[in-house]
Amino acid sequence: MIATASPAAAPTRQSGDPEVEADTLLFGLRDASLGYGGKVVLRGVNLQVRAGEFWCLLGPNGEGKTTLVKTLLGALRPRRGQLHREPAVFRRGRVSYVPQRCESNPVLPTSVLEFVGGGLVGVRADAARRAGRLRRALALVGLASAARRNFWTLSGGQRQRAMVARALVRDPRLLVLDEPVAGLDFSAAASVLAVLRDLHQTWGVTIVLVTHELETAKRHATHAALFRGGAVAAGPAGELLTEERLAATFGVAAAGVEVDAAAGSAAAAAAVSVPELPPPARPAPVENAAP
């Protein structure tokens, strides 16, 4: 069972930091082409991530999921099309990213508390507030009792939860994760996903999760994006994660738990049509992307 903080230990808001109302458009792309260098990876992308949603990005390796995540985080700009990033979230540092792997040096002994505290770099807060954020983050992921342990002696699932805690100390409104349960056994993966479910359902954190696992998306996602052949179909999970749509997009049965590179290669010879989404019902102000 995952221990979570009591309601009194909920993440605090920064002074003068406005709440992000439910359904606020946090990130949007309209008719966007995404890529890097001289290469266009994705074309005609229409996607809107709103506050309070849980998104799963699904597709074989090399289909553009990372390119979209880098665009969301601001590391890439669209080659064409329109981009919206909500200032109350992005300019105030209310976005946190959890990579797939920890890049810290395992040779250096690091306590869980020290590792999670690394997420506070650049955060302006006095010692008492920093300590409070650390306690809350560790409690939310069920690692309060492991604060003094060596980070590298934790199990795989515990390390992933510590990485989530490191992101949570920044009190994000939007949490982006790159395959956080890849390589974990069922129990460890379930413990990480339980934390994400609690963050979304109890604390209202918007989640964008990159995953290969269809079952994870079916259980947790409110919205999904399917990547195939340079196109993206995005929308409510109930409309996209159907037997017919998954088979048409990936060439595999929806009963398959994982969408991997081999499955994508096997379907490469078949022409896959990803239906284009209709224009947004409520157009929001957008920034013009760089040409």
Average pLDDT (94-108) is 85
pLDDT at residue number 163: 95
pLDDT at residue number 270: 30
pLDDT at residue 231 tops 50: yes
pLDDT at residue 280 tops 50: no
pTM of the predicted model over 0.85 = no
Domains of the chain: 24-94+172-277 (3.40.50.300), 106-171 (no CATH)
Assign 38 a pLDDT band (cuts: 50, 70, 90): confident
pLDDT at residue number 85: 95
CB half-sphere exposure, 144, CA atoms < 13 A: 15
Assign 10 a pLDDT band (cuts: 50, 70, 90): very low
Q: Is residue 140 a contact partner of residue 2, using CB atoms and an 8 Å limit?
A: no
How many Å apart are CA 26 and CA 94, to the nearest integer?
A: 11
Which stretch of DSSP H or E encloses residue 39? strand 39-50
Q: What is the mean pLDDT of the chain?
A: 82
How is 135-162 classified by DSSP, letter by letter?
HHHHHHTT-GGGTTSBGGGS-HHHHHHH
3-state secondary structure of 130: helix
Q: Model confidence over 183-230: pLDDT tens digits?
A: 888 999 999 999 999 999 999 999 999 998 899 999 999 999 999 999
Residues of the chain by 3-state class (helix, strand, coil), percent to 5: 35, 25, 45
